[in-house]
A and B are shown apart, each in its own frame.
Chain A
């Protein structure tokens, strides 16, 4: 069975295992709504990008990041998921959870193949620093343990770190050959500040550093994912993807 998103129709991403192998896996990749962001092509061209998912607390930023990570893993990349203030077990559960929602009866081989493309690094909130991340990353790469293509940083403190820290991270990406880093950031209802593109605080002053900015926007009974900035998008900024509110799977543009 295949009940999947397509650019015109708009059913959510759910696919059977027969289709995940061979052509099916390709289908899953090409039909993924995330394609519209166009980041992967740029990565293949050797270009580095930063992505940002914003929302108020508890709206499902991690679920979006995990889908982005899984998409990258399905395309053959290695993803390092840095979870700040979260446990390995919980982070791992999030992946399993989203994957089961995306794919029915995942076989052991594919699951194990995907797990090998992912590593989780957790930090206590007060322990995380760019310097420490750099040290750990270099360790991983030098010891030939894991060389990530994509970094997910969930729980980064944008209030306490400014433009310089973000620029430093961009430099680190270049040094270590990482093609994309995705962040999550918490916005606050009571803080009305936004950038010209509509990127909310606390990222409104540094939004120019990000190639893509997505904001989870709950409206009445629907959950929207607004594309606020999108440097290489196939769609115009301002386009909206829909989220299935029960699974948080990305649905359609």
Chain B
């Protein structure tokens, strides 16, 4: 029997670091009977919250990788992806958002909407993810859910409205008033598992009535029936309210706000009800795949179990059970033992085991269908691959993947560490497309690159812990790029014919700037002046030359190499000879093509009390930053700027001392830009000296 998709929710829990996402997930799992005891994130019991399955996450108290887990609330199946809150890991957040249908935006009732929430919100908007908000930590000193709701409206431009009122706040936070049922709810029992409904405390009745009216007025926009009932002044059926909230939420025009304290076990069950009632099921959302057989034409996936299978691998994990591949099914059914196709590689893959993940425990299942998020065992693939049934050539649309901006050298301490490091790097690069690695042929060092210092730190730690690869890490370096700015011709002959078998190859053509992409090779050879078998050798030679530019040793990108003439020798020409000829040709033309150095520019947002605004802008200005603008919110100011990454090292310390620790900043990659002349000269000088000292 086909599964009723209206009872499936694929949701993410996404928010600012330290707003309590992991604790909230832990409580959700507890109330849905997935776990039987509650552990804290930084738990004294040494067990740690369920979702932080990686050791490192337990130690740091932060969630690094999004673990997928399954829970069932009343008659609804909920797949939860716990997502990291630090901006360095946004690829994880973005991947999670790609496979989700809805999300809970968790906010701290004290900290409110912080810059990271703005980034996450922007990402959710990019993937059109409907969301509900949960204002957590209402038991904390300074808790103010009304202020946070106002911030959602002001800072994130969400049409947010409180659906509940707190009964007491801070240390006296006792329960909530539900503005739909107009009842007070208290959470009894050791872990808040028993909900007790009472009449609204008399002193809150008027406030609750006012808030309900305002809320009804707001949501009546989404239901004509509700609006009519309101105008007629009749009794309002709660179903009408639920439908209107759901419709507003799905159209991204309304964000219902719920409150509670995960730590104090308050407000979680109503939140789960809201997930079931207001967040979309897989059929409420239209997802698109690309038809590889028809020029990548976009088509909507059907969610129909009878259609051919389409399934996206959105996450790989190498754990104690071997390689796990998390997949989301969009249409069709996959049964254990079946064979599917990887549409990127074209290879057949047999699915031996199928499991439903529950943090780091698993449950064997026989099949999965549309909307399911499950894990496959022992499948060799990369993150982002699409699996389909035989005869269907489709791929889920590609994901937005930013270029790495920072790199550092990692040196294994011994041979064993060397072997383990290779294994680890191989795994990480498959798991995370923003994490890259290569060997610098001049120094022999292994270089890793990624989206920020913390991003790389985490992988170094994982190498040590998960792979026992003890490595020494060098200082972080900005990932500069070199590129050319004009066309330049080459005509180069590589010739070594001094006795014995010689080497001969001549290539001629030109290099020119490539607008988009890293490298392109164009073969315009006519009449076989370079034999066909040596054309790939030329391409290979150019590619090798791209690894290191002559200005500052950075990788070269944005080059089109065109060959249109050449010569060969019947005996002395070889693959190697043409590779070397192409390298010589590249050297010859590169300097004539006016190469320049490009640097990563970050979009930086600094948020803090307005009194420090001048100082903050001054500090960004000093760092070659370009102030884009400021957002004045009364006592708070957000300064937005574009600043070169190379100038941002140590900025957190500067900002702390400038603002007495009252301001915070986030940054994300914006673009690559040419470095100014003075900086370029400095980089070239440094590189020359470095080469001299080798």
Q: Interface of A with B (CB < 8 Å)?
A: 81, 87-88, 91-92, 108, 112, 115-116, 119-124, 127-128, 132, 136, 139-140, 142-146
Contacts and interface: CB of A to CB of B under 8 A. Distances in A.
Contacts of B157: 87
A121 B640 CA distance: 10
A92 B614 contact: no
B615 A143 contact: yes
A127 B634 contact: yes
A108 B672 CA distance: 11
A88 B628 contact: yes
A139 B614 contact: yes
B171 interface: no
A253 to B, nearest CB: 33
Nearest to B634: A127
A136 B632 contact: yes
Contact of B630 (A115, A122, A128, A142): A122
Contacts of A123: 632
A116 B621 CA distance: 11
Contacts of B618: 143-145
Given A88-B640, A136-B613, A145 B628 contact: no
Cβ-closest 6 pairs across A and B: A120-B629, A139-B614, A88-B629, A143-B618, A145-B617, A143-B614
Nearest to A91: B629
Contacts of B632: 121-124, 127-128, 132, 136
B627 interface: yes
Contacts of B615: 143
A201 B253 CA distance: 35
Contacts of B626: 112, 115-116
A142 B634 contact: no
Given A88-B640, A145-B618, A119 B629 contact: yes
Contact of A140 (B614, B640, B673): B614
B25 to A, nearest CB: 32
B631 interface: yes
B154 interface: yes
B380 interface: no
Contacts of A87: 157, 631
Contacts of B188: none
Interface string B621-665: 100001111111110000010000000000000000000000000
B154 A124 contact: yes
Nearest to B122: A89
A57 B626 CA distance: 33
B614 A121 contact: no
Interface string B354-375: 0000000000000000000000
Nearest to B613: A139
Contacts of B621: 143-145
B613 A88 contact: no
Nearest to A146: B627
A127 B621 CA distance: 26
Contacts of A140: 614, 617
A35 to B, nearest CB: 28
Interface string B659-693: 00000000000000100000000000000000000
Nearest to A128: B632
A120 B627 CA distance: 9
29 contacts: A88-B630, A88-B640, A92-B628, A92-B629, A112-B626, A112-B673, A115-B626, A115-B628, A116-B626, A119-B627, A119-B629, A119-B630, A120-B628, A121-B630, A121-B632, A122-B630, A123-B632, A124-B632, A124-B634, A127-B634, A128-B632, A132-B632, A139-B614, A143-B621, A144-B618, A144-B621, A145-B617, A145-B621, A145-B627
Given A115-B626, A140-B614, 12 more contacts: A87-B631, A88-B631, A88-B640, A91-B629, A119-B628, A119-B630, A120-B629, A122-B630, A123-B632, A124-B632, A128-B632, A143-B621
Contacts of B629: 81, 88, 91-92, 119-122
